[in-house]
Structure 1
């Protein structure tokens, strides 16, 4: 009766693994989807990418701010060693001119002496030695020679490039988590295989014990069973180590608590991918194309250094008392600046930007070739894994039938215990190979979807 229960349990396990339900590659387990989202939130590379994208947005704001008026408030106090005045000859000339004006005003003849009772004013200082100033300045760029607009477009394409790089990084993070999750499922499946093998060995221990009591077997047979049990224990220990390691990997990738990760029971199943699924442009390619556009606008920005620039400048003094005789209270004016020759710096910088754009173009062509190769490789790997799964299922069927036959022969003294253990080992290996084949299928599908740019999670 016990043997029948064990056989039924084995058949149920084989049916559950050998005839899995097919699903589309995008129907991920809810637990896996949750882990991927946590991994995306935790990724330091993604956080760095988001910061760089925000910096590009700030660069755009800086380019726009060129056309905003700049208003500056100024204040200062200066003390000179002495007042700045006219020279003596000029002062004498000013006094004489003052006397002539006064004579004409009072109706005195030109050659008559100047009256002593009329006071004269000294010539004012050109600048008092104590100078207190408070003013406001206005600087307003009206036309930057297209330099600001080209800088704005370069920053916009740079931001878009960084956003695409972020999407590409998300795919990498998701692939790592999916692979670790599937490895954990493979380890969990191996545990089930080992448990089944353990039940087989327990059944054999029972029959060997009875056979020894009846003189139909020697203690050597029992020792061989014990050795097989020790080997199985070693495999179980290896399972525990792999399980602990994968829990640590998932914890590092997602930040999920180890206690929750230990509760996961992922399962490996065959997956299918629609052959008609058309490939889309990869985010890596889009990022390189946007980076290429950004460098081209950067080259235009450098060239625009030779286009005339127009600006308005204004100035207003709040304190008039300390202004010199030559200082205006306010002024406003428009000006133009035309950089005719800057020592070839703009031309060389523009050439450097063009060379950088050529570098991106080469990277785009190289990436497209590598992606096409990866799609072909992933498709071949997927087809090979499907074929391997079909073969392994036949191996499992044959291994189970062989074990049942040899086990019956052994119980009828027609086979040795070594034959039984070898047949049991074949069953165990075949079940391991099936789980590994499922794992390879899922890896090939994930790689194929990623290569085609249609991986979703």
Structure 2
């Protein structure tokens, strides 16, 4: 086998072996790293994570309803005057005081009270300077299940948001994998271009040698030069495509552009062994959202259930209290919202309708997922069949090129036939890489549709 054919065989073995070598592989380490960086960079995921944290705070708010609320109060008030009894009441209280004193010391009822016996002043109902310092305790003992249902609604809302985050991560991972595979396809085209350049350089050598020996004409050399110019145009297209894909990866992952430009991926197939389908995160998110609305409706409906609360109050400064103010008190009360103009009922009906919307979305999503699984399976089957066909095309194009090249070297055919055969081999080689790309796309979509995509 001559040098040209050895290079051709090595190239074909490498191109075909790229897929078979990694048939049991999953994602490449560098691709996994890019996906993780993309997930960390994603603003959409960060926003949903913050929403999830808010839902967790809502759960805590629902739970702390049952904790006692302690409030310390302090105030100073100055009235325009002391609040006292009216004159008749004061005279009555003084007369009563005199009767009690006379009875105590044994003075007859009708005798006058001696002047040397002092009388107590009638206290004010409230002094005009009022300094108060107190503590209040409010403790909800029973919320009519409103707080309990609010907690459960927030719990399911948090779960829904968490599943939304995972679903968003899947979409970002799919986008990065697709871009990475496109870059691999572009790099595959680069390898084909390099191989083609080697063949053209070899043909140019033979053409120059043939011209010197009078076995070829200068027109053949011009045809080689034209083919090399066309190859240079393809090289420019490769550079543009790679630069564009590097920029897309930079936008998705935030990775340094220089580092991304050094990435030289190859097309590798995923494992063809699929586990049983799992419920998609989009479905889980909708189901949790549906449960959240159910408990929200119960929360709104429980507005009619009586609420029980404990109230406590204690005054630290007793001196400035009025004669009617207690120093402390404790009480238990019931609040029953018997009729609110149908407001709570209408809110509950509205929330139930929202729950039905989620159920409709779940059924629609399940139908779409089933369709996407079937579509991905058919695409994968078609890609595998296409790969077999392209491998046969490469085998035929390789044998054809080898035969025509030998004929040309023996002056049995023209340079045009050689260039055409080389072009057919180049196209077939790239078609194989493109078939690997389509196969990988179908597998990735199938894994995602079944909910078993791992990254």
User: TM-score, normalising length from structure 2?
Assistant: 0.96
Determine the structure 1 residue equivalent to 2:209. 210
CA contact (8 A) 1:25 1:446 kept: no
Structure 1's 146 and 24: CA in aligned 2 closer, same or farther, altered over 3 A? farther
SS of aligned partner of 1:133: strand
SS of aligned partner of 1:265: coil
Determine the structure 2 residue equivalent to 1:389. 387
Give the one of 362, 366, 370 matched to 2:368: 370
CA contact (8 A) 2:25 2:270 kept: no
1:77-88 residue pairs with structure 2 within 5 A?
Answer: 77-88=76-87
Report how far residue 25 of structure 1 moved: 6.4
User: 1: distance between equivalents of 2:95 and 2:56?
Assistant: 69
User: 2: distance between equivalents of 1:124 and 1:25?
Assistant: 97
Determine the structure 2 residue equivalent to 1:134. 133
CA contact (8 A) 2:5 2:402 kept: no
- 1:66-118 CA-to-partner distances (Å, cap 9, x unmatched) read 11111111100111111111122212222222222222222222222333332
Q: Which ranges in structure 1 are unaligned for 5 or more consecutive residues? A: none
Determine the structure 2 residue equivalent to 1:420. 418
User: 2: distance between equivalents of 1:36 and 1:449?
Assistant: 16
Structure 1's 26 and 271: CA in aligned 2 closer, same or farther, altered over 3 A? closer
Determine the structure 2 residue equivalent to 1:344. 342
Report how far residue 22 of structure 1 moved: 5.3
Count how many residue pairs are aligned between Structure 1 and Structure 2: 454
Report how far residue 211 of structure 1 moved: 2.6
Report how far residue 185 of structure 1 moved: 1.2
Structure 1's 272 and 116: CA in aligned 2 closer, same or farther, altered over 3 A? closer
Determine the structure 2 residue equivalent to 1:329. 327
SS of aligned partner of 1:120: coil
Q: Does 1:108 align with 2:107?
A: yes
User: TM-score, normalising length from structure 1?
Assistant: 0.95
Structure 1's 139 and 270: CA in aligned 2 closer, same or farther, altered over 3 A? closer
Report how far residue 300 of structure 1 moved: 0.4
CA contact (8 A) 1:136 1:315 kept: yes
User: 1: distance between equivalents of 2:24 and 2:305?
Assistant: 56
Give the one of 311, 314, 327 matched to 1:313: 311
- 1:375-406 CA-to-partner distances (Å, cap 9, x unmatched) read 00000000111111111111111112222222
1:56-71 residue pairs with structure 2 within 5 A?
Answer: 56-71=55-70
Report how far residue 306 of structure 1 moved: 0.6
Q: Which runs of 4+ in 1 moved over 4 A?
A: 22-26
- 1:301-321 CA-to-partner distances (Å, cap 9, x unmatched) read 011111111111100000011
User: 2: distance between equivalents of 1:272 and 1:26?
Assistant: 6
Report how far residue 26 of structure 1 moved: 5.6
Report how far residue 217 of structure 1 moved: 2.8
> Which stretch of structure 1 is more off in the superposition, 145-154 or 158-167?
158-167
User: 1: distance between equivalents of 2:301 and 2:253?
Assistant: 47
User: 2: distance between equivalents of 1:230 and 1:260?
Assistant: 30
User: 2: distance between equivalents of 1:263 and 1:30?
Assistant: 15
Report how far residue 274 of structure 1 moved: 2.3
1:30-179 residue pairs with structure 2 within 5 A?
Answer: 30-179=29-178
Determine the structure 2 residue equivalent to 1:15. 13
User: 2: distance between equivalents of 1:78 and 1:345?
Assistant: 41
> Which stretch of structure 1 is more off in the superposition, 18-27 or 71-80?
18-27
CA contact (8 A) 2:82 2:128 kept: yes
Report how far residue 172 of structure 1 moved: 1.3
Report how far residue 297 of structure 1 moved: 0.3
CA contact (8 A) 1:212 1:218 kept: yes
Report how far residue 426 of structure 1 moved: 1.0
Determine the structure 2 residue equivalent to 1:407. 405
User: 1: distance between equivalents of 2:451 and 2:302?
Assistant: 38
Report how far residue 343 of structure 1 moved: 1.4
> Which stretch of structure 1 is more off in the superposition, 253-262 or 12-21?
253-262
Report how far residue 24 of structure 1 moved: 5.0
User: 1: distance between equivalents of 2:4 and 2:305?
Assistant: 88
CA contact (8 A) 2:35 2:176 kept: yes
SS of aligned partner of 1:21: helix
Q: Which ranges in structure 2 are unaligned for 5 or more consecutive residues? A: none
SS of aligned partner of 2:111: coil
> Which stretch of structure 1 is more off in the superposition, 65-74 or 250-259?
250-259
- 1:271-306 CA-to-partner distances (Å, cap 9, x unmatched) read 44226x321111110111011001000000011111
Report how far residue 249 of structure 1 moved: 2.2
- 1:340-366 CA-to-partner distances (Å, cap 9, x unmatched) read 011111101111110111111011000
Determine the structure 1 residue equivalent to 2:441. 443
1:241-256 residue pairs with structure 2 within 5 A?
Answer: 241-256=240-255
User: 1: distance between equivalents of 2:216 and 2:86?
Assistant: 136
- 1:402-456 CA-to-partner distances (Å, cap 9, x unmatched) read 2222223333333332222222111111111110000000010000010001111
CA contact (8 A) 1:26 1:455 kept: no
CA contact (8 A) 2:41 2:252 kept: yes
